């Protein structure tokens, strides 16, 4: 089983072409839905009294919600942002932490035996509390964002040293390590104790770095991008999902998992919110995975 510890959110996303208001989002949602195509997945998070019943129904159909709390007094985490014309830059308009500000993750008993754990871009102290409750995971993965690097860098570093895989985008890893070169930055994080680092580079793909491997992969070429929100978390879901279904962590599986991550990220951007995942089928994923392999073969 995979568990995803992270936000379940209401997002307002503004692009030069359309605005989607208060739609289903959040790191745990994107990661969880992405990984659920490959393996049973549960989420650990919290929502407020304003969380729509329709969204709860969508999640319940795809995910185990034993770890999702409902605060009947508070409001759901809300994030309002805008993308530029080329979808390369995102500007925060408003963030309302609401119920996640003082969230204390408590894992159900069945989650404590989870094989795979994803710690999304939450408060690193909350992530560490959740991680301490998992008894013997086979693989643990964490992410973070600029906000926590600025405000809790020491705790972020502790979190990174406590997991097997660290996933960051190119801006975040440079900020975290003060290294301009991505490979040097990844190796610096490896020196803190994790075994694998993945650098997400948006439309330019990703790089997997270990002590023995440097594996760069391009992004799947897309003609129609609607909403890049959640692409990175969807990447993590595909990455962890494929590892989970293979049940091993050799070099071949690692590389395949990075490609599946790129594929799941490419589906996420094709529609607003998680709408693409609601009609997506496993055969669509496998078809795009094999197209990807053909594209990069020479």
| 269 Cβ contact list (under 8 Å, min separation 6) | 87, 222, 225, 226, 227, 228, 231
Helix (H, G, I), strand (E, B) or coil at 163: coil
In the predicted model, what is the mean pLDDT of the chain?
Answer: 95
Angle at Cα 113 formed by Cα 236 and Cα 164, nearest 5°?
40
**Predicted confidence (pLDDT) per residue in 69-112, tens digit:** 999 999 999 999 999 988 878 888 999 999 998 899 999 999 99
Bridge partner list, 44 = 5, 67
Q: What is the CATH number of the domain that holds 255?
A: 3.40.1190.20
Q: Cα separation of 241 and 288, whole Å? A: 16
Task: Tell me if residue 161 falls in helix, strand or coil.
Answer: helix
pLDDT per position as a tens digit, 5-51: 999 999 999 999 999 999 999 999 999 999 999 999 999 999 999 99
Tokens 């871009």: give the residue: 121
Beta-bridged to residue 94, according to DSSP, are 80
Contacts 24+ apart (CB under 8 A), 53-59: 55/24, 58/24, 58/274, 58/278, 59/8, 59/24, 59/29, 59/32
In 3D space, the residue among 272, 275, 278 whose CA is nearest the CA of residue 18 turns out to be: 272
pLDDT band at 182 (very low <50, low <70, confident <90, very high): very high
Range of the domain at 178: 2-296
Work out how many domains the chain is built from and give that number. 1
Q: Supply φ then ψ for residue 34, to 5 degrees.
A: -65, -50
Edge-to-edge strands of the sheet including 206-209? 64-71, 41-48, 2-5, 116-119, 139-142, 165-169, 196-200, 206-209, 214-217
Q: Is 22 left (phi over 0), alpha (psi -120 to 50) or beta?
A: left
pTM over 0.85: yes
């Amino acid at each position: 089983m995979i568990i995803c510890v992270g936000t379940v959110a209401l997002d307002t996303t503004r692009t030069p072409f359309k605005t989607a208001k208060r739609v289903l989002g959040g790191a745990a949602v994107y990661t969880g839905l992405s990984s659920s195509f490959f393996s049973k997945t549960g989420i650990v998070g919290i929502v407020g009294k304003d969380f729509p019943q329709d969204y709860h129904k969508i999640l319940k159909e795809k995910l185990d919600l034993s770890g999702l709390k409902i605060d009947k007094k508070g409001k759901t985490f809300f994030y309002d942002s805008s993308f530029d014309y080329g979808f390369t830059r995102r500007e925060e308009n408003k963030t309302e932490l609401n119920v996640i500000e003082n969230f204390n993750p408590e894992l159900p008993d069945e989650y404590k035996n989870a094989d795979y754990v994803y710690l999304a871009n939450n408060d690193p102290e909350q992530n560490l509390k959740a991680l301490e409750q998992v008894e013997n995971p086979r693989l643990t993965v964490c992410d973070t964002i600029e906000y926590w690097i600025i405000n809790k860098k020491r705790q972020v570093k502790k979190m990174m040293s406590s997991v097997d895989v660290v996933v960051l985008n190119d801006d975040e890893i440079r900020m975290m390590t003060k290294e301009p070169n991505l490979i040097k930055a990844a190796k610096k994080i490896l020196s803190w104790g994790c075994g694998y680092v993945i650098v997400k580079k948006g439309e330019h793909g990703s790089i997997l770095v270990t002590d023995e491997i440097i594996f760069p992969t391009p992004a799947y070429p897309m003609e129609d991008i609607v909403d890049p929100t959640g692409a990175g978390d969807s990447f993590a879901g595909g990455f962890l999902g494929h590892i989970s279904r293979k049940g091993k962590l050799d070099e071949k599986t690692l590389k395949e998992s990075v490609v599946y991550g790129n594929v799941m990220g490419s589906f996420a951007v094709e529609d607003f919110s998680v709408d693409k995942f609601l009609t997506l089928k496993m055969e669509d994923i496998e078809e795009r995975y094999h197209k990807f392999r053909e594209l990069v073969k020479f």
